[in-house]
């Protein structure tokens, strides 16, 4: 992610951009965004950039055209770019989300090459004598199979690209509020210089921390979903003793209590005797996600219940709140990717958390159910066979 002002000067350059381009943030801050483009494209880019500044809109960049970027080592690579914008006072800023599509382009080239090879072999096949027909048909079958594999790989890559593009569009919208908060609070902090104004400074520091945490959560959802889609999640099922299980539960609860609203409390009740088999890291992520939702969608001075038990070789978890609840209609789509309940549309979120939770539980052989009533609260029930 890169943020530039209306003159094309780079203002923010996150660690993903550093990895992608090979520059450190200090090397590019204040420099023209055109330094990240091949030389032959810079003049035309300036024209497009000036046009965007005059009529900004959230959109994909260069639809129907091949876009390229340049790294610090002068290597050029294909990219997809989504643009967003926001204003701080009278100053306009542009957010560019950049995706490296080198793998997709390479697969497309391999698929084209494979198709051409098949055409050549088909032509030669007609000219060969009968004694070689069987051998050539076997070769053709292998190439056809290779073509199918490449088509599947390309389809998967396109699906991942579509997923990333959709998330980038979502993130560009979700980032605008915390970014505006950070910029405005940072500007105000500089005006509070006396000791008497320390409380005002601290207030804006807390606002910045909250905004950064919101942005971090959005990125964590994106990274988790990407790993799940690419099959990069390793499942490590291990046996936890009763003491180890409770230690892990207390660790999660203590961590989440820092996010509680005034008066909110998390009650933990674990009656499990003996050992439990699960992936501790995945289970911690599942509970953190569910407790985070319970805190977010419940009022101040409310109680959140976390309990677990073993029943007939099935490990049960329960997370219960007394929040706004979920309608029966929305419950049917609750675990779908990017889904947001109608009564939660004004609360920040990506719509990915519960989808990730359900996939983590599938990896552990478990499942999740939801029971909820509007204005009465929500209960999530988890089962993991032992």
| CATH class held by domain 238-385 | alpha beta
Residue 170: predicted pLDDT: 56
User: What pLDDT, on a 0 to 100 scale, did the predictor assign at position 177?
Assistant: 60
3 state DSSP class of 38? coil
pLDDT tens figures, 59-80: 888 667 889 999 999 999 999 9
What residue spans define the domains of the chain?
Answer: 2-102+159-229, 103-158, 238-385
Residue holding tokens 């908060």? 181
- Would you call 277 exposed, middle or buried from its count of C-beta atoms within 10 A (0-12, 13-18, 19+)? middle
Taking the alpha carbons at both ends of the chain, their separation in whole angstroms is: 43
What are 98's two structure tokens? 């950049």
Residue with tokens 């807390």: 206
Residue 85 β-bridge partners = 94
For a pLDDT cut of 70, what percent of the chain falls above it? 89
Please list the ranges in the chain whose pLDDT falls under 70.
62-63, 129-131, 133, 136, 153-154, 156-157, 159-178, 210-211, 214, 217-218, 221-222
**Residue 32 DSSP label:** B
Check residue 116 and give its pLDDT: 87
Spatial CA neighbour of 94 closest among 16, 206, 2? 2
Neighbours of 314 (CB within 10 A): 12
Residue in this structure with the two tokens 């084209």, named with its chain if needed: 112
Domain 2-102+159-229: CATH architecture, name and number where available: 2-Layer Sandwich (3.30)
- The secondary structure of 81-127 as a DSSP string is EEEEEEEETTEEEEEEEEEE-HHHHHHHHHHHHHHHHHHHHHHHHHH
138: left (phi over 0), alpha (psi -120 to 50) or beta: alpha
**Token pair 């593009």: residue:** 165
pLDDT in tens, 154-184: 676 676 666 666 666 655 555 666 677 777 7
List the beta bridge partners of residue 372.
378
- Comparing CA positions, the residue from 64, 102, 58 lying closest to residue 82 is 58
Cα 110 to chain center, whole Å? 29
Helix %, strand %, coil % of the chain (to 5) = 50, 20, 25
CA pair distance 308, 242, nearest whole angstrom:
11
Q: Tokens 């088509």 label which residue?
A: 151
Distance separating alpha carbons of residues 320 and 306, to the nearest angstrom: 7
Distance CA 286, CA 335 (A): 13
Q: In Å, what is the CA distance from 198 to each residue of 183, 185, 194, 204?
A: 19, 14, 7, 10
pLDDT tens digits for range 341-381: 888 877 777 788 899 999 999 999 999 999 999 999 999 99
Strands (E), 14-90: 59-60, 67-70, 76-88
């Amino acid at each position: 992610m890169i943020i530039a002002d209306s003159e094309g000067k780079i203002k923010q350059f996150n660690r993903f951009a550093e990895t992608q381009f090979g520059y450190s943030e200090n090397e590019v801050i204040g420099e023209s965004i055109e330094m990240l483009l091949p030389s032959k494209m810079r003049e035309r880019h300036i024209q497009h950039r000036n046009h965007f500044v005059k009529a900004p809109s959230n959109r994909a960049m260069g639809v129907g055209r091949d876009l390229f970027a340049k790294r610090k080592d002068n290597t050029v690579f294909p990219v997809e770019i989504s643009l967003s914008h926001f204003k701080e006072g009278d100053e306009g800023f542009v957010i560019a989300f950049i995706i490296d599509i080198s793998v997709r382009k390479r697969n497309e080239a391999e698929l084209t090459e494979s198709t051409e090879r098949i055409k050549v072999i088909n032509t030669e096949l007609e000219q060969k004598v009968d004694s070689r027909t069987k051998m050539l048909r076997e070769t053709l079958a292998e190439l056809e199979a290779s073509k199918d594999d490449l088509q599947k790989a390309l389809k998967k890559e396109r699906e991942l690209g579509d997923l990333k593009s959709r998330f980038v569009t979502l993130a560009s919208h979700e980032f605008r509020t915390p970014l505006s908060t950070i910029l405005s609070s940072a500007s105000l902090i500089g005006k509070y210089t006396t000791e008497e104004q320390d409380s005002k400074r601290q207030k804006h520091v807390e606002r910045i921390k909250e905004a950064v945490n919101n942005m971090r959560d959005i990125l964590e959802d994106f990274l988790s979903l990407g790993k799940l889609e690419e099959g990069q999640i390793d499942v490590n099922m291990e046996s936890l003793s009763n003491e180890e299980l409770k230690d892990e539960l207390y660790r999660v609860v203590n961590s989440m209590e820092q996010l509680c609203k005034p008066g909110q409390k998390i009650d933990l009740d674990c009656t499990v005797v003996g050992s439990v088999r699960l992936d501790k890291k995945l289970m911690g992520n599942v509970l953190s996600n569910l407790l985070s939702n319970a805190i977010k969608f419940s009022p101040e001075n409310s109680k959140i219940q976390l309990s677990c038990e073993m029943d007939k070789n099935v490990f049960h978890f329960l997370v219960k709140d007394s929040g706004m609840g979920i309608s029966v209609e929305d419950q049917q789509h609750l675990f779908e990717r990017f889904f947001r309940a109608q009564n939660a549309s004004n609360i920040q979120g990506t719509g990915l958390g519960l989808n990730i939770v359900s996939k983590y539980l599938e990896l552990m052989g478990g499942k999740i159910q939801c029971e909820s009533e509007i204005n009465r609260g929500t209960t999530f029930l988890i089962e993991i066979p032992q």
